[in-house]
Amino acid sequence: MIHISADKVAEVIIMARELGRAEAEMDAFIDRLNEEEQAALVAVFWIGRGSFEPEEYADAYRTAQAEATTPTAEYLKGSPHLADHLESGLDALGISASDEEDELYRGG
């Protein structure tokens, strides 16, 4: 079980795809997440990027907590493939990112 809801990750994915328009909104959204959720978001990102395997989620989560020195939104925006990595991370963890995104688009 990850320490952030899949719909919150999906919201970040959607905003990351529209970063030119939604950067301030994404920054505020991520800043409102608690520390556990921010660390989980980074862990999902790292899994999607291939830095950790899905079965290493707990290690990725602990590492994200221990190494959090830069604001999470700033750190994540440093990746030009943020949305893709988050989507791949959710999928690797057995959560359908596209289903979560579709649900948000439908107003779920």
pTM: 0.92
In a domain, 60, yes or no: yes
| Tally of structural domains, the chain | 1
Per-residue model confidence as pLDDT tens for the chain (108 residues) = 899 999 999 999 999 999 889 999 999 999 999 999 999 999 999 999 999 999 999 999 999 999 989 999 999 999 999 999 999 999 999 998 887 767 776 775
Residues 81 and 64: their CA atoms lie apart, in Å, by 18
Domain span holding position 72: 6-105
- Secondary structure of the chain as H, E, C letters: CCCCCHHHHHHHHHHHHCHHHHHHHHHHHHHHCCHHHHHHHHHHHHHHHCCCCHHHHHHHHHHHHHCCCCCHHHHHHCCCCHHHHHHHHHHHCCCCHHHHHHHHHCCC
Residue 1, in any domain of the structure = no
Most distant CA atoms of the chain, gap in Å: 37
